[in-house]
Amino acid sequence: DADVTQTPRNRITKTGKRIMLECSQTKGHDRMYWYRQDPGLGLRLIYYSFDVKDINKGEISDGYSVSRQAQAKFSLSLESAIPNQTALYFCASQEGEGETQYFGPGTRLLVL
């Protein structure tokens, strides 16, 4: 079984709709991250959380919100989706100040 899972894997939605992307990890890591990937731009950090009570904005948090429901679960919400939020979204986990981030398989989102 994968250590970091994301649901859904693909999602098509319409402008103005609220959607939630979910992430779970079984590695027992305390730190979790949400990234967005666009062609030619690499991975950009949206939000990160160092434990259940800790939520921090990343480079591109506008238009997004997150919830850390448990140590293993970190969800990303788009309150009112817009077409320029069409992208590939990755969740990642990390153990403390470890050197390695473990990525989920990604969610491909299309906003029409």
Positions that interact with other proteins (CB under 8 A): 33, 35, 40-45, 48, 58-59, 90, 97, 99-106
Provide the minimum distance between the beta carbon of 71 and other proteins in the complex, in angstroms, as a whole number.
18
Provide the minimum distance between the beta carbon of 85 and other proteins in the complex, in angstroms, as a whole number.
19
Provide the minimum distance between the beta carbon of 104 and other proteins in the complex, in angstroms, as a whole number.
6
Per-residue burial over 12-32, b if 16 or more Cβ lie within 10 Å, else e, is ebeeeeebebbbbbeeebbbb
Q: Pull the structure tokens for residue 39.
A: 């062609």
In angstroms, what CA-CA distances link 9 with 6, 98, 109, 110?
A: 7, 27, 8, 11
Nearer to other proteins, 12 or 82 (CB): 12
Nearer to other proteins, 7 or 18 (CB): 7
